[in-house]
């Protein structure tokens, strides 16, 4: 078994192969020098911890050794030969496989402007990226962030905790337009402003100019923002080059079926790099960039590499921590045609998103701390069952979601 991509998904798949009883060779290949590590802390703990952190490892080297998993770091795969079932590495080595899993992840979308690759521009994807940004984020520095999505806003919150001045530039009219209801986005917007973040929405960047001491972004309304560092967070694109050169089907990522098989039956793909059909949404093809999906699909891919034939059934789930606010979303809110609000307290509520036929298709919650976690988990179970709960019951916090699940 050969796994290309030593992130969360690839590492979980390697461990799950052993858990599933596979006793043959398992090789895990990653291009970074680090052992597999978790990425969510990069925009949070890695920025604000008192001492410079190391990566939060999925497991220590000894665990891989004990499980007889050959974890190859600092090696980049450059081509797949499907006829000989082999993968060529940039250092000249060739690895063979019976079954191959591609867990190549995603990479930051590049800003197509002159100067976007300059020394005062940064992207966040790796632990080394986080350390570079951390070094620039300090009291008295001014950090500009292009992109009002999750990554940009999490970095903004971390930078404010470290005492930096922060400006977030978002080309669309509001922050968090992708998958977050406006009702919740307004709360996060207000919190950032209360914390001193300048939010410049509805303004694109038209040009960049780097000086000896600053990076200056010219905005579409004629104004400009000068900063010590510009962090570009305008989304991510799946890493598909290896699969594409091998002739595998590509559709917003490496296209797989509900069992994570690519167009080659001996090659699977999982995690951020692949798009897959979700039966609970009528076979809609989606690509998910989130920690739990990487874990879930790593485990699913391992089972199916061993012949289980299991289908994808997990409901999408995502969370974001900003200051003391936690946002959790289960399902796909854009599938909903109406929303029902349940107030849990003065500062916590959930929006239940219903399809035209009454099915619960998503739930979006926000609170201080973890106050919505239990109800979001129950909503996730309702979504998985295709439940059509009474909207009036959803709106009443005294009606327990567990009772709706039992019904």
Domains defined for the chain, CATH in brackets: 2-107+236-305 (3.50.50.60), 110-232 (3.50.50.60), 324-406 (3.30.390.30)
In the numeric block, which tokens belong to residue 44? 């949070």
Residue 73's contacts (CB-CB under 8 Å, 6 or more residues apart) are: 6, 30, 32, 33, 34, 35
Strands of the sheet containing 348-354, edge to edge, are: 317-322, 325-331, 360-368, 348-354, 338-345
In the numeric block, which tokens belong to residue 2? 């050969």
Q: Measured at the alpha carbon of residue 31, what is the angle toward residues 320 and 157, in degrees to the nearest 5?
A: 20
Contact between residue 172 and residue 180 where contact means Cβ atoms under 8 Å apart? no
pTM over 0.85: yes
Contact between residue 130 and residue 124 where contact means Cβ atoms under 8 Å apart? yes
Residues in the chain: 407
Tens of pLDDT, residues 22-78: 999 999 999 999 999 999 999 999 999 999 899 999 999 999 999 999 999 999 999
The reported pLDDT for the residue numbered 162 is: 95
Strand pairing class (100-102; 2-4): parallel
Of 2, 6, 1, 10, the C-alpha closest to 270 is: 10
CA distances to 122, 241, 389 from 89, rounded to whole Å, are: 28, 14, 53
User: Which pLDDT band, with edges at 50, 70 and 90, does 407 fall under?
Assistant: confident
CA distance 348 to 327: 10
Q: Is the pLDDT of residue 17 over 90?
A: yes
Tens of pLDDT, residues 294-343: 999 999 999 999 999 999 999 999 999 999 999 999 999 999 999 999 99
DSSP bridge pairs for 129: none
Tens of pLDDT, residues 96-112: 999 999 999 999 999 99
């Amino acid at each position: 078994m050969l796994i290309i991509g030593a992130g969360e998904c690839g590492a979980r798949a390697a461990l799950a192969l052993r858990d599933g009883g596979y006793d043959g060779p398992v090789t895990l290949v990653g291009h970074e020098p680090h052992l597999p590590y978790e990425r969510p802390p990069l925009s949070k703990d890695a920025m604000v911890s008192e001492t410079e952190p190391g990566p939060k490892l999925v497991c220590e080297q000894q665990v891989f050794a004990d499980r007889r998993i050959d974890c190859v770091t600092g090696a980049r795969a450059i081509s797949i030969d499907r006829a000989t079932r082999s993968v060529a590495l940039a250092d000249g080595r060739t690895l063979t496989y019976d079954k191959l899993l591609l867990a190549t992840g995603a990479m930051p979308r590049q800003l197509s402007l002159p100067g976007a690759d300059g020394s005062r521009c940064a992207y966040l994807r790796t632990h080394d990226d986080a350390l570079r940004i951390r070094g620039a984020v300090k009291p008295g520095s001014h950090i500009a962030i292009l992109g009002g999505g999750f990554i940009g806003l999490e970095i903004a919150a971390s930078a404010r905790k470290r005492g930096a001045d922060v400006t977030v530039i978002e080309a669309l009219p509001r922050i968090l337009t992708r998958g977050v209801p406006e009702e919740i986005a307004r709360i996060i917007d207000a919190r950032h402003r209360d914390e001193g973040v300048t939010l410049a929405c509805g303004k694109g960047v038209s040009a960049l100019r780097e000086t000896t001491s600053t990076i200056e972004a010219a905005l579409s309304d004629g104004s400009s923002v000068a900063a010590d560092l510009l962090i570009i967070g305008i989304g991510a694109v799946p890493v598909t080059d290896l699969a594409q050169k091998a002739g595998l089907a590509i559709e917003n990522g490496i296209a797989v079926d509900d069992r994570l098989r690519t167009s080659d039956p001996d090659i699977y793909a999982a995690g951020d790099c692949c798009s897959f059909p979700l039966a609970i949404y009528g076979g809609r093809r989606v690509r998910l960039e989130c920690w739990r999906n990487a874990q879930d699909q790593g485990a699913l891919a391992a089972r199916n590499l061993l012949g289980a034939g299991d289908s994808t059934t997990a409901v999408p789930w995502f969370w974001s921590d900003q200051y003391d606010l936690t946002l959790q979303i289960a399902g796909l809110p854009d599938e909903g045609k109406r929303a029902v609000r349940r107030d849990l307290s003065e500062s916590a509520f959930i929006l239940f998103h219903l399809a035209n036929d009454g099915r619960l298709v998503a739930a979006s919650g926000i609170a201080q701390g973890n106050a919505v976690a239990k109800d979001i988990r129950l909503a996730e179970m309702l979504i998985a069952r295709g439940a059509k709960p009474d909207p009036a019951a959803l709106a009443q916090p005294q009606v327990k979601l567990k009772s709706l699940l039992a019904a």
